[in-house]
Amino acid sequence: MEMSFKNGSPSTNDRPQGESAPIRPAYGTIPGITLPVSRVLFGTAIGPMLKGADVNRLLDAAMALGVNTFDTARGYGLAENSLGRWIAARGNRDRLVLLSKCGNVSPRGEVCVNRQVILTELEQSRQALGVDCIDIYLLHRDDPHTPVSEFIDTLNECKAAGKIRIFGVSNWTHGRIAEANAYAAENGLEGFSVSSPHYGLARQVCDPWGGDCVTVAGPENAGARAWYAEAGMPVIAYSSLARGFFGGKFRAFDYEGARQVLDGPAQKGYLCEENMRRLRNAEILAEKHRTTVSDIALRYLFGSKMNVYASISTTNPDRLLGNILASVRPLTKEETAFLERDTE
């Protein structure tokens, strides 16, 4: 059954006071992608899409708000199938930027990504999406048992065959990316041009899912952020709101309320005293600006010196509108420092 929501279209209830004119998301340019890329990506790892449900109206609403980039993966259940049916029904492939991934962690916490996994899962993704070419194709995890040469050689073959436009990684360290790109340069090949680590106001204090999830948040990762800023490599941040930690559904230091709201991975990865302090600081700024905690957390992200994008998963178009507004209003340096106080 197709999802529905209030009046069939997004409202402006989450728009901060004083905003009346329609606001479009910020866009960026990623080499190799002909369309501008919305700074807010629609993340398809949501319950209805994981189950393969019809979410056409929700995706219509996202696109009506200016979001043209959709983030999916082989590891997201049947999300690619839901997305593919929408693309076929609307005939809008030429107006979209599609991102998908291969090589997720197994239920036992094991990672296996190699040439055969890439070739097999890429074909499965193309069929599920109903497309000839995927714009941005990422390796969902790193497999240290596979040499970087195998990754680079295979992905260059896929690009030459017209199956992908550009490729990158998710949950790779910047050191391993540099190693792969050095091999590519030495052999006249294309290297990784996009990376998707965790990044946001919350520190990822523990691996939420297994398979060596990588974060660039927190003071201990300042070197990684400096590397990305200098390289100019697009960073597509996942869990930028820490899986609901900055969703505004519980107050700072309300640990019992947090446990009722956050799922297992969110509690494992983000529920700690330091993040509660950051949540309290975000609440103070949200009150000052008469806006939401989510807005403050995303404005923090978009104020980064990195070339950053945010993948947002939601079934609520009103919340998505708020996320879009954040992409065009980064915080000041002073406000950023305030959010980080006593932590960095």
pLDDT tens-digit series, residues 27-63: 999 999 999 999 999 999 999 999 999 999 999 999 9
Q: Are 318 and 14 in contact (CB under 8 A)?
A: yes
CA–CA separation, 338 vs 343, rounded Å? 10
Q: Looking at 109-257, which runs of residues are DSSP E strands?
A: 134-139, 164-170, 195-196, 235-237
Q: Is this prediction's pTM over 0.95?
A: no
Model confidence pLDDT, tens digit, residues 204-238 = 999 999 889 999 999 999 999 999 999 999 999 99
**For residue 319, is pLDDT > 70?**
yes
CA–chain centroid gap for 130, Å, is 22
Residues forming beta bridges with residue 85, ordered by sequence position: none
Angle at 66 between CA 88 and CA 100, to 5 degrees: 50
Tokens 């309300």 locate to 254
Q: Which of 237, 224, 276 is nearest to 255 (CA)?
A: 276
Q: Are 265 and 206 in contact (CB under 8 A)?
A: no
CA–CA separation, 339 vs 280, rounded Å? 9
pLDDT at site 11:
33
Q: Which amino acid is at 60?
A: D
Q: Is residue 1 part of a domain?
A: no
pLDDT tier at 22, thresholds 50, 70, 90 = low
DSSP 240-304: TTGGGTTSSSS-TT-HHHHHHHS-HHHHHHH-SHHHHHHHHHHHHHHHHHTS-HHHHHHHHHHTS
CATH at 229: 3.20.20.100
Q: Is residue 174 part of a domain?
A: yes
Is pLDDT larger for residue 158 or for residue 7? 158
Q: Are 72 and 140 in contact (CB under 8 A)?
A: no
pLDDT at site 14:
38
CA–CA separation, 245 vs 294, rounded Å? 9
Looking only at Cα atoms, what is the longest distance across the chain? Answer: 56
pLDDT tier at 132, thresholds 50, 70, 90 = very high
Is pLDDT larger for residue 318 or for residue 108? 318
pLDDT tier at 9, thresholds 50, 70, 90 = very low
Measured N-to-C along each axis, helices 174-186 and 222-231 cross at an angle, to the nearest 10 degrees, of 30
Q: Is residue 323 part of a domain?
A: yes
Q: Is residue 230 part of a domain?
A: yes
Measured N-to-C along each axis, helices 317-326 and 293-302 cross at an angle, to the nearest 10 degrees, of 40
CA–CA separation, 201 vs 301, rounded Å? 7
Is pLDDT larger for residue 142 or for residue 3? 142
Total structural domains within the chain: 1
Q: To the nearest whole percent, how much of the chain has pLDDT over 70?
A: 92
Domain that holds residue 146: 6-340
**For residue 5, is pLDDT > 60?**
no
pLDDT tier at 341, thresholds 50, 70, 90 = confident
Model confidence pLDDT, tens digit, residues 321-332 = 989 999 988 899
Q: To which H or E segment does residue 62 belong? A: helix 56-64
pLDDT at site 259:
97
Can you read off the two tokens belonging to residue 39? Answer: 């700074």
CA–CA separation, 27 vs 324, rounded Å? 10
Q: Is residue 335 part of a domain?
A: yes
Q: Are 235 and 309 in contact (CB under 8 A)?
A: yes
Contacts of 118 (CB under 8 A, 6+ apart): 102, 103, 139, 151, 154, 155, 158
**For residue 154, is pLDDT > 70?**
yes
Q: Is residue 268 part of a domain?
A: yes
The rounded mean pLDDT for the chain is 92
CA–CA separation, 296 vs 285, rounded Å? 7
* Beta strands 37-38; 308-312: pairing state: unpaired
Contacts of 186 (CB under 8 A, 6+ apart): none
DSSP state of 95: G
Q: To the nearest whole percent, how much of the chain has pLDDT over 90?
A: 87
Q: Which of 278, 287, 293, 253 is nearest to 337 (CA)?
A: 278
